[in-house]
Structure formats: C-alpha cells, structure tokens
Amino acid sequence: MVKKLLRDYCLIKYRSLPLQHFDKETNSDILYSPNHEGVYWIKSPESKENNSEKLIQELINLISSLNINDLIFLNEINLPWISKYTAQRKDSKQLTTALNYFKSKNIWTDFNGGVLVCKIELKDFLLNFYTITKHDSGFFFYNFTDEKQKIIFYLHYSGDIQVITLTEEMNISFLKQIKNTSFIDCGRQDSNKI
C-alpha cells in the first residue's frame, strides 16, 4: 500500500523529520533538524557500478533487520513531488517508467504531502523514487522515517545514504545490523563512523 498523507498531518505527527524554509525577508534558510544519537553516511560497494536494484535491495534488507514495516516520506521543502517540467520530460525511458509509477499512485504535480509506504510496496517505490532522484536535480530533500520515528533515511542521487538515529536503542540496533549488510562507511568527515 502507498498512501498519500496531507503535509499538515505529517508536520504535526512526524515532528522528527527535517524541514527547511526560505525566508524572503531575511534572505536566509530556516532549518529544523531533530535531536539525534548518530549521523551516518553509508554506501554500497555496488553503487559505483550504478546498480540501483542491488542498492535498494540492500537498503530494504537493512530496514527489515531493524524491524521497520512502514516508512513515511516527506520533502523538507513545501514543494510538489513532481515538478511540471519533469512531468513533461521524455528523454529517459527509466525516468518515464518512474514517473508513470508515481502518477499511478496519484503522487503528481499538485501533491506536496507525505507518503506512507508499506513493506510489500517498498521495493517498487524505492526503485522509482531513486530513479527520479538520479534524473531530476530538483527532486531532493526527501527524508523517510519509521512510524515510531526512531530513525531517518536520506537517499542521495549518488547512492550514498544518510542515516540519522534518533534514539539510543535504535543507534545500538543500527550499528549491530549494519554489520550484516554490504554497506560501508562513506568516509565523510561530518558523520559518525560505522
């Protein structure tokens, strides 16, 4: 199941998700980031081979090992999921397939809310989500969290994944479960190491 959620509902219920807003009066960004236990950047050795399917499957395996069933996706910025420009693009068969998937779920140019994705739909959703991330430079700042808001994921177009643990319990569990995957540390200076 893929279920659309109103943005206001997500802002109230999922208060741990990062947010940002541009203030025109001060000409600056206003950022919100939750308190956290750890911030990690991980990648799959296969990401260099541009193997989206292996990357997504490994991410799903990690999510499953953390006993997460449903994920909530929300853009940090109040923008529609699919821009009008991207909706009209026909330059990539992969992108067209991904756009058709999102359109079939009614996640389109007029929708700016959150999306709840259950475990059985997660692979298809993430594969199409990642395709748009790689093909549309305006499709970014989408974070996703579990229902209990213990962890936040961010999937970068490069295949690198940011993982933010929000509780000590989840931090311990993540550090234990990541060892059972092929993920390696990205080596970024601004993050904890796995």
- pTM of this structure: 0.94
Predicted local confidence at residue 49, as pLDDT: 55
pLDDT of residue 51: 86
pLDDT at 22: 86
Which amino acid is present at 143?
Answer: N
What are the φ and ψ backbone dihedral angles of 131, each rounded to 5 degrees? -60, -45
Whether the pLDDT of residue 48 is over 70: the answer is no
pLDDT, average across residues 88-117: 97
Q: Where are the beta strands (DSSP E) in the chain?
A: 2-5, 19-23, 28-32, 38-43, 71-75, 114-117, 142-146, 151-155, 161-165, 184-185
Could you read off the pLDDT of 137-173 as tens digits, one per residue? 889 999 999 999 999 999 999 999 999 999 999 999 9
Say yes or no to pLDDT of 107 above 70: yes
Query: Of 184, 181, 187, 185, whose CA–CA distance to 57 is shortest?
Result: 181
Mean pLDDT on 117-132: 97
- What is the average pLDDT score of the chain? 95
Q: Name the residue ranges covered by the structural domains of the chain.
A: 2-185
